[in-house]
Structure 1
Amino acid sequence: MSENAAGSTEAELTEEPAFLDAGTAAYRRANLAMFVGGFATFAMLYGTQPILPLLSEAFDISPASASLSVSAGTAALALLLIPASILSDRIGRMRVMKTSLTLAAIVALASPFVTDFNQLLVLRALLGAALAGLPAAAMAYLGEEIAPQAQGRAMGLYIAGNALGGMSGRFISALVAQWSSWRIALGVLGVLGVIAAFLFWRSLPASRHFSPRAARPARILSDVRALFSDEAMPWLFLTAFLLMGAFIGLYNYLGFRLMEAPFGLSQSAIGAIFGLYLLGTWASAWSGQLADRHGRRNILWIMVSVMASGLLATLSPALPIIIAGVAVYTFGFFAAHSVASGWVARRANERRALAAALYLSSYYLGASVIGTLAGPAWTLHAWGGVALVVGTCLAATLLLAGFHLRRIEPPRRP
């Protein structure tokens, strides 16, 4: 009996820890944690976008300067994604994600108390830097801990949290700012971040499949060289830069246009327009299925063309046509982003974590750089100037997708 007990104990010690499978309580807790984490990340990151006109008025600065409150956060996030990804390989996904969300919530709570715009910019940059840990480690955590047959659902819920957070943060800040002030709006987002951090800490199951990896510079540089020597990967990173830059460039200045005559929309009405982000949830899933059926290289250029058609519609003086154009543009963006990011994961093989970090870094750098450059275009030529900057980005992306990436054959399955 003692031998059986000893044998049983030895088997238990050597048995592989179970993955989190659909239907279990631990799986549901993981999904809750990742959903609220993604929701809070993008709610806090983009919360200033719909209130840029209020910040411009409050601090007596230009629209281009006000847009830095968005760009500072996305730039810091972009720059810290790769270091955060490497850190999560070293010390663990959970520790990085929990620390990330907690620090971000603290920074967000401090934002309403700034006395000048420079202080706000510093806090927005710190917010982006703090937030980098969650998206840098989230995909790796899900890939390691969730059962393979349940990963698709878990990944989809996490991405849905991202999209819903980006939409809700914009809408909440616009609505609260109209009823009270931009300071209270940012404070509400900070409280939301605290609640999300609490739920995240309480719900996320412990890592049972994480194995630390040494952050050797030689290995990292070798992986980077391999990714950039791939015939498609550098161009997909550039595509991410241009796509997100074009998307944020349009949304940053949409509020300025719709608050002016002849439209004169309120803050809450402008915030409601961000409800079009819900199209992104459906567009991402649908375009992924379409890409699986017809090939990513055949779908990407079509979705960029959809964005371009939506942009042209926004040049209309009629508000219903403008909103319809923004809807088409938003649909095309999320579909194109889904196809491009899936393409990166498909080609990266064992370097998926680094490839995802490089893709997202390019993505958020595009938001910062092009989102800021569209500011002088708005100042000099109003919406026509913004459309020219955004249209140039889309034209470059269309050339990449339609004439270069389309010719690249899919990688062979291992």
Structure 2
Amino acid sequence: MAAAAPPEPGLERGLERGLERGTAAYRRANLALFLAGCSTFSLLYCVQPLLPEFACDFRLSPASASLALSLSTAALALAIFAAGALSQQISRRRLMFGSMALAAACNLLAAVAPSWPLLLLARLAEGALLGGVPAVAMAYLAEEMDARHLSGAMGLYVAGTAFGGMMGRVGMGLLVEIGDWRTAMAIIGGTGLAAAFGFAALLPPSRRFAPRRGFVLRQHLHAWAAHLRHPGLLRLFAIGFVLTSVFVALFNYVGFRLADAPYRLGPAQISLIFLTYVFGMFASPLAGRLADRFGGRWPLAAGLALMAVGALVTLAQSLAAIIAGISLITFGYFVGHSVASAWVGRLARSDKGHASSLYLLFYYFGSSITGALGGWAWQHGGWGGEVALTASLAAAGIVLALQVDRGERRA
């Protein structure tokens, strides 16, 4: 793994030591970013268990119903790209808070939307607004954390995303059983607003970052181009695409499989599949610590291998085997994402916000592009087609993971 990057230009005033494990500021930063990850992913993915409900209520095909998620992630990908540049000019804490609060408001609007196009419009806006969180959070951690504890801190942030993804999905399924999907979406939106205010109260101000004055497009284009010319970073960006492609495509359509014969599961029962996110909450910090100690190549390759094996296991007809396969996929995904996220911060010598935004651009494009492509695979090849698509992508990711640090100095 590459040596820790020197401070970015503009950080001269903030040559203080990074936040160290065991300090109050470290704990506050981790808790705040845990809330940010939790809120972002619960808002983004709360519609995933509702896709069969949308298909029924609005008389849609599975691929059309998946637009409630795919449009949000596509908008998020593009917004992250812009947020990485914007975060160089303004307070990162303010940017993240505004994004969280406004996105939660959009979820409330989606809950009361009277038609499918208006619901999609609210979800599109929600995805765009959420773009102000992930790349900025990654950049904040890369700058503010002591290099020795960066992967561990990134793992805790990703654990927050796992918890949020689980609560958004499982909570949605259970709430639908009590009331209806509109009430459930409104409750998720209200919870997101509360998380935004908790985040703002907890996050310590940046000490090693000074906003740049003015917006010079050429500087941003130069920063993005430099990262895209870096072979190691380019491989990590491609791995981000693979990770979310495999994960989201399988989770999008497993609900349709389980709603059909012979399982005939309802929304609440299907949503319990997302309890496998508990594995992600443990896998993320563990992967971060392993990467801090041994480097990222093998933990990253192992995570992708677990995803490939898990996809193949789900081909079995037994419900227990399907759950076991989904558990392997979840564990592998969060291992891979934790390691890749931190590795981007290390390989980016400067302009870390730009590097994070590029990683997440590829990451969310994987969700939106392969999430939609998975609908084609499901309609034409059934679950076998879904597994063939995702297992092939995971195998390609393993090859990339074994080559990321080629020519790089290890930490």
Same fold (TM over 0.5): yes
Seen in structure 2, the aligned counterparts of structure 1 residues 23 and 290 have a Cα distance that, compared at 3 Å, is closer
Letter paired with 1:409: G
- Superposition deviation, residue 372 in structure 1: 0.7
Asked if structure 2 preserves the Cα contact closer than 8 Å seen for 1:38 and 1:158, the reply is: yes
Separation in 1, partners of 2:171, 2:313: 27
- Superposition deviation, residue 204 in structure 1: 3.6
Asked if structure 1 preserves the Cα contact closer than 8 Å seen for 2:152 and 2:289, the reply is: no
Matches within 5 A, 1:399-414: 399-402=399-402, 405=403, 408-411=406-409
- What is residue 125 of structure 1 aligned with on the other side? 124
- What is residue 188 of structure 1 aligned with on the other side? 187
- What is residue 140 of structure 1 aligned with on the other side? 139
Asked if structure 2 preserves the Cα contact closer than 8 Å seen for 1:20 and 1:147, the reply is: yes
Give structure 1 stretches of 5+ with no counterpart.
Answer: 1-13
Seen in structure 2, the aligned counterparts of structure 1 residues 233 and 22 have a Cα distance that, compared at 3 Å, is closer
Separation in 2, partners of 1:15, 1:144: 10
Aligned-residue RMSD, C-alpha:
2.6
Query: Bigger shift: 151-160 or 91-100?
Result: 151-160
- What is residue 8 of structure 2 aligned with on the other side? none
Query: Bigger shift: 203-212 or 38-47?
Result: 203-212
User: How many residue pairs are counted as aligned between the two chains?
Assistant: 398
- What is residue 239 of structure 2 aligned with on the other side? 239
- What is residue 320 of structure 1 aligned with on the other side? 320
Asked if structure 2 preserves the Cα contact closer than 8 Å seen for 1:237 and 1:362, the reply is: yes
Letter paired with 2:115: D
- What is residue 93 of structure 1 aligned with on the other side? 92
- What is residue 162 of structure 1 aligned with on the other side? 161
- Superposition deviation, residue 374 in structure 1: 0.6
The yes-or-no answer on 1:228 pairing with 2:235 is no
Letter paired with 1:116: S
Separation in 1, partners of 2:31, 2:401: 36
- Superposition deviation, residue 166 in structure 1: 0.9
Q: Which has the higher contact order (CA 8 A, sep 6+)?
A: 2
- What is residue 6 of structure 1 aligned with on the other side? none
Greater helix proportion: 1
- What is residue 10 of structure 1 aligned with on the other side? none
Seen in structure 2, the aligned counterparts of structure 1 residues 223 and 196 have a Cα distance that, compared at 3 Å, is same
Separation in 2, partners of 1:72, 1:340: 24
Letter paired with 2:59: D
Aligned residue for 2:350, secondary structure, equals helix
- Superposition deviation, residue 180 in structure 1: 1.6
Asked if structure 1 preserves the Cα contact closer than 8 Å seen for 2:73 and 2:368, the reply is: yes
Seen in structure 2, the aligned counterparts of structure 1 residues 329 and 144 have a Cα distance that, compared at 3 Å, is closer
The yes-or-no answer on 1:248 pairing with 2:248 is yes
- What is residue 197 of structure 2 aligned with on the other side? 198
Describe the superposition over 1:275-331 as per-residue Cα deviations: whole angstroms up to 9, x where unpaired. Answer: 111111222333344445554334433332221111111011111111111111211
Matches within 5 A, 1:275-294: 275-292=275-292, 294=294
- What is residue 66 of structure 1 aligned with on the other side? 65
Asked if structure 2 preserves the Cα contact closer than 8 Å seen for 1:245 and 1:370, the reply is: yes
Separation in 2, partners of 1:25, 1:333: 30
Separation in 2, partners of 1:335, 1:57: 35
- Superposition deviation, residue 218 in structure 1: 2.6
Describe the superposition over 1:193-231 as per-residue Cα deviations: whole angstroms up to 9, x where unpaired. Answer: 121123233344444554112442232222222222222
- What is residue 384 of structure 1 aligned with on the other side? 384
Letter paired with 2:360: L
- Superposition deviation, residue 261 in structure 1: 1.1
Separation in 2, partners of 1:254, 1:73: 20
Seen in structure 2, the aligned counterparts of structure 1 residues 393 and 261 have a Cα distance that, compared at 3 Å, is same
Seen in structure 2, the aligned counterparts of structure 1 residues 399 and 189 have a Cα distance that, compared at 3 Å, is same
Separation in 1, partners of 2:41, 2:334: 15
Separation in 2, partners of 1:16, 1:409: 29
Separation in 2, partners of 1:336, 1:23: 26
Letter paired with 2:174: L
- Superposition deviation, residue 22 in structure 1: 6.3
Letter paired with 1:128: G
Separation in 1, partners of 2:26, 2:304: 36
Matches within 5 A, 1:264-303: 264-292=264-292, 294-303=294-303
Same amino acid, percent of matched pairs: 43
Asked if structure 2 preserves the Cα contact closer than 8 Å seen for 1:55 and 1:182, the reply is: no
- Superposition deviation, residue 371 in structure 1: 0.5
Letter paired with 1:178: E
- What is residue 8 of structure 1 aligned with on the other side? none
Asked if structure 2 preserves the Cα contact closer than 8 Å seen for 1:227 and 1:233, the reply is: yes
Letter paired with 1:235: R
